[in-house]
């Protein structure tokens, strides 16, 4: 659990699978982070316009587009890094994630410890453990 205000992150979490979205959001909040959730590209882009985020954690396959679209907006507006969540491990997805600016990519189902490690890797300037 985060015990220091410097460790608290503002996270945009995007996934159209309600259970995944709710469980990951709850776990990240339990670590002391502020988490805004979205289940579509449109919702995520609207959130980017309302709030500043330290990191994006996003599913790639969304009902109204792709998480790569969200990543591009987050990078333009906030310069924040991103972690892609995907059920696909083929070269096309790997390349699309990297090209959009995702720093890391995790295969679904997401193992929370792997997500935390990826966040620590992507955000090395955050003091101490992320969770």
Per-residue pLDDT of the chain (131 residues; tens, 9 = 90+): 444 444 799 999 999 999 999 999 999 999 999 999 999 999 999 999 999 999 999 999 999 999 999 999 999 999 999 999 998 777 777 888 899 999 999 999 999 999 999 999 999 888 888 99
Q: Which pLDDT score is estimated for 32?
A: 94
Structural domains of the chain, with CATH:
16-122 (3.40.50.2300)
Q: Which pLDDT score is estimated for 4?
A: 46
Q: How far is CA 28 from the centre of its chain?
A: 11
DSSP conformation class of 75: H
Q: Which pLDDT score is estimated for 88?
A: 76
Task: Count Cβ atoms within 10 A of the Cβ of residue 68 and give its class: 0-12 exposed, 13-18 middle, 19 or more buried.
Answer: buried
H or E element at residue 95: helix 91-100
Residues facing residue 84 across a β-bridge: 58, 105
Q: Which of 17, 19, 15 shows the shortest CA–CA distance to 36? A: 15
């Amino acid at each position: 659990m985060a015990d220091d205000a410097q460790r608290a992150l503002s996270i945009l979490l995007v996934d159209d699978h309600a259970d995944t979205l709710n469980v990951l959001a709850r776990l990240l909040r339990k670590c002391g982070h502020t988490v805004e959730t979205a289940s579509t590209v449109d919702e995520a882009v609207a959130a980017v316009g309302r709030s500043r985020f330290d990191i994006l954690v996003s599913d790639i396959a969304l009902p109204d587009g792709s998480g790569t679209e969200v990543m591009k907006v987050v990078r333009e507006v906030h310069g924040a890094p991103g972690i892609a969540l995907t059920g696909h491990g083929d070269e096309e997805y790997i390349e699309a994630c990297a090209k959009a600016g995702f720093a890391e990519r995790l295969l679904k189902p997401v193992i929370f410890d792997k997500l935390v490690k990826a966040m620590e890797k992507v955000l090395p300037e955050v003091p101490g453990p992320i969770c």
